Amino acid sequence: MKILGFYFLIISIAVLVNSKAVEETTTDETNLPKFNLASGFYNKKTIKLEITNADPNAVIYYTLDGSIPTLNSTLYEKPVVLKNRSEEENVLSSITGVSPDRDYVPKVKVKKGNVIRAMAKLSNGTLTDVVSSTYFVGLNRKKLSNNLPVVSIITDPDNLFGYENGIYIKGKRYDDWIAEDPENINALDYLIEGNYNYKGKESERPATLQYFPGNKNVEGFSQDFGIRIMGKATRTYVQKSFRFVSREEYGKKNLKYDLIPGNMRSDGNGPLTKYKSFNLRNGGNDFDYSKIRDNVLQNLVSNRSFETQQNDFAVAFIDGEYWGVYSIYEDYSDNYIANNYDIDKDNVIIIKNQNKVEAGMDSDADLLKENLESIFAKDMSLPENYEEGKKLLMWKNLPDGPFGGGNFAFWRVRNPDASVPKADGKWRILTYDTEFSSGIYPDISKYDDDLLSSILTENQWFSGTYCTNLLNTFLKNKEFKNLFINALSDIRNIDFDLKRLNSTIEKMRKTLSPLMKDHYDRFGTMKEFIEDGYRHFDIQVDLFKTWLNNKHSIFMKEIERDFELQPPVTVTITSDNFRKGSFVVNDGWKIFDKKYKGEYFRENILYITAKPSSGRKLKYWKIKNCTFANETGVHSSSKYQSSSQTTIGIYPDTGCKITVYFK
C-alpha cells in the first residue's frame, strides 16, 4: 500500500506540473459556447450571430475559415454579421496540386456559406471544446440543391490541403515519390502518388459534418467524424470521395440518424438508422460523365440476393465553399454486417478483391481460398458434390449478377450461429462500384460486346477471378444452370424492365440536371463541360440510357448464343382475379398483381408460385402451349393442362399462357 501510495503521489505531481505547462480543457457541454441561431438556411441579406457562455467571465474565441480556434484567434466582442459570401474570392477551390493532370480552378466565384467555430476560456482558466456551425445566408435553397440534402464539412484546412498533413492534395508524398525516381513523373495519371494515397486510420483527419435534409432548412444532425479519402484511381481526381468514420475519440461511436431515407436493414427488420461509417462518393469512374451509373444500377438490382449499397444524392460544401454533387453511400464493413443483421461485428470476415482482408484476420484470406478451391476441385455435375458446395457458399448470389471480374467482396461469420439468419457460415457476396460495367468508355465497353461469353470462356480480365471460377464450376450442374439462365432472364425481364429502367434514369436526371451548371463551374475540367453549353450531363445520361436499352434488346440473343439454346418465347402469366391472389416468378422478389409477360427459353424450366390473398386458397393452375415439368397432379384436356400444386415448373413454348385460379 505504501508503494501504491507513492505511485499515486508521483502521478499527482506529474499531472500538477503538466497542468501548469498547458491549458486544461473541459468537455462539459454546459460550458460550451452557444450560438443564438441554429445552423441552416436563412433567406435574408444578413444575420447577426451572437455567441454566449454560461460562465459570465468566459472569453470566447472564434474562426470563420474552418480552423480550430486558439487563444490567438478572433476575440468575440460583438455579434458576428454573416451574409452571402458567394461574391468573395475563392479560397480552397483555388488551390492547385490537387490532381496529377488537372490543375483546374473555377473561372467563377463559387457559392459559399458561412462556417464558424468557437471555443471559450472559462474563468477558471480551462478551455472548452470547440463548437461548429454553418449558415447559408441569402442562398436559394431550391436552386442550390433542388431539395437534395446539403452536407457541410468543417475541418481545419491543413487537414485537407496542408503540404505535409493534407490528404486531398499531391503534397509532400508526391515530391518524395518524384525524388525517389524522377521517371515517376511519366507514370499514368491514376498511378501518380500523393498525400491522397494515405490509407487506414492514420490517414483520418478530424472534421465536423452537418447534414441538412432536403425537406428542411435546419440541420438534421451535427457530429464529429474522422474523414479519409477513399477509392482507387479516383483518389487522383479533382473531386475526391470521402469516408466518414464515427469513433468515441471524436465524440460518438455511431451516427444514429435516418441518413439514407428508405434504407431498410438487409434482414428486413425495419429501417437502418445506425451507421458506423458511410461514404460521400464522387461517382467513381463516372465522375466525368453521368455521375448516376452506379446509383441506377445498384438501385435496379437491390432486390437480388446479394448485398448492394443504398444511396442518396447530396450537395457538399467544405469550410463554406461549394464542393459539388456527391452521393451518400453505405460503407461495407464489419459494422455494416452487424447493423444490418444483428451479427457480432467481431464474428465477421470480409475479403475484398480476392485476398484483401477488410474485416477479420490476415489468415482469413487463406480460409476463403481454401473453401473456394475445395469447390473448384469438385465435379458439380454430381448431386452430392453440388450439395457440398452449397454448404460453403450462398450459391444463389452467383446467378443473380456479380459473376464477373469486377468489384465485389465475400463475407461470412467465423463462428456459425443457427439462431441468426445469414450467420450460417456460408460465404456471401457484397457488390459495389458498378459504373464501369455500362459503357462509360465507348472504345472498350460497347453494348454489343458479349461479356457473358467472355465470362463463360474466362477470356480477358475475367480469367482467374473467384466469381468467374465459381460460376463456371457450378454451371456443370444441371439444376444450377437452369437457375442461372432463369436469373439472367428475370434480371432482363423484371429488374431491367424497360419502363422501370428508364423511369429510374429519368428520375435521377431530373434530380441532378438543374444542379450540374454549378457543379461544372466548380469541377469543369473537360472542355466539353463548357463547350456544349453545359449539356454534357444530359448528353452523358442519354448515352448511358441508350447503352442499357440497346443491351436490353440483344441480351436474350446473347444468352441463346452462349448456351446454344433455341430462341426465347414470350410467356404470359395472369390470375383469374388479382383480388383473390397473385404470383411470383422463379422465387423472385416481385409479387405480380397484374398480368406479366416475359421472355424465357424452351429448354429451361420456369417456376411460378401462387400467392393467395388473405382468406383465399389456390384452386388450380391452367396452362396452354407449355408443358408441366413435373407430371404429378397434372390433369389434361384437348386444349389445357392444369395442376393444383402451389409452385409449378413448366417448359414454355410459342404462345405460352399460364393462369392461376383462386377460391
- pLDDT tens per residue, range 569-587: 999 999 999 999 999 999 8
Q: In this structure, how many other beta carbons lie within 10 angstroms of the beta carbon of residue 268?
A: 8
pLDDT for residue 657 = 98
Task: Give the span between the Cα atoms of 72 and 81, in whole angstroms.
Answer: 21
Dihedral sign for Cα 494, 499, 502, 504, please. Answer: negative
Spatial neighbors of 251 by CB under 8 A, at least 6 apart, are: 223, 224
**Residue spans of alpha helices (H) in 419-535:** 451-456, 466-474, 478-490, 498-512, 516-523, 527-531
Element (H or E) spanning 336, and its range?
helix 334-341
Asked whether 399 and 304 are in contact (CB, 8 A), the reply is no
- What pLDDT is recorded for position 637? 52
Nearest to 171 by CA among 113, 235, 245: 235
Q: Is 13 exposed, middle or buried (0-12, 13-18, 19+ CB in 10 A)?
A: exposed
- Separation between Cα atoms, residue 384 and residue 390, nearest integer Å: 10
With 0-12 / 13-18 / 19 or more C-beta atoms within 10 angstroms meaning exposed / middle / buried, residue 448 is exposed
pTM of the model: 0.92
Residue 467 confidence (pLDDT): 85
pLDDT at 215: 86
Residue 325 CA to chain centroid, in angstroms?
15
Q: What angle do CA 160, 161, 167 make, to 5 degrees?
A: 45
Cβ neighbours for 41, distance < 8 A, ≥ 6 positions apart: 136, 139, 141, 212, 217, 218
The stretches of 395-497 forming alpha helices (DSSP H) are 451-456, 466-474, 478-490
Residue 173: strand, helix, or coil: helix
Give, as one character, the DSSP assignment of residue 70.
-
C-beta separation of 163 from 154 below 8 A: no
Query: Which of left, alpha, beta for 371 (phi over 0: left; psi -120 to 50: alpha)?
Result: alpha
Contact yes or no for 207/229 (Cβ under 8 A): no
State the pLDDT at residue 19: 32
State pLDDT tens for residues 38-62. Answer: 999 999 999 999 999 999 999 999 9
Residue ranges in the chain modelled with pLDDT below 50: 1-23, 633, 638
Q: Considering only CA atoms, which of 276, 436, 464, 435 is closest in space to residue 353?
A: 464
- By C-alpha distance, which of 153, 247, 254, 160 is closest to 201? 247
**How far, CA to CA in Å, does 470 sit from each of 389, 464, 561?**
10, 10, 21
What is the model's pLDDT at position 631?
Answer: 59
Q: In 80-154, which ranges are continuous DSSP H helix?
A: 141-145
The maximal CA–CA distance of the chain, rounded, in angstroms, is 103
Residue 628's nearest CA partner among 600, 654, 656, 655 is 656
Residue 625: alpha-carbon gap to chain centroid: 44
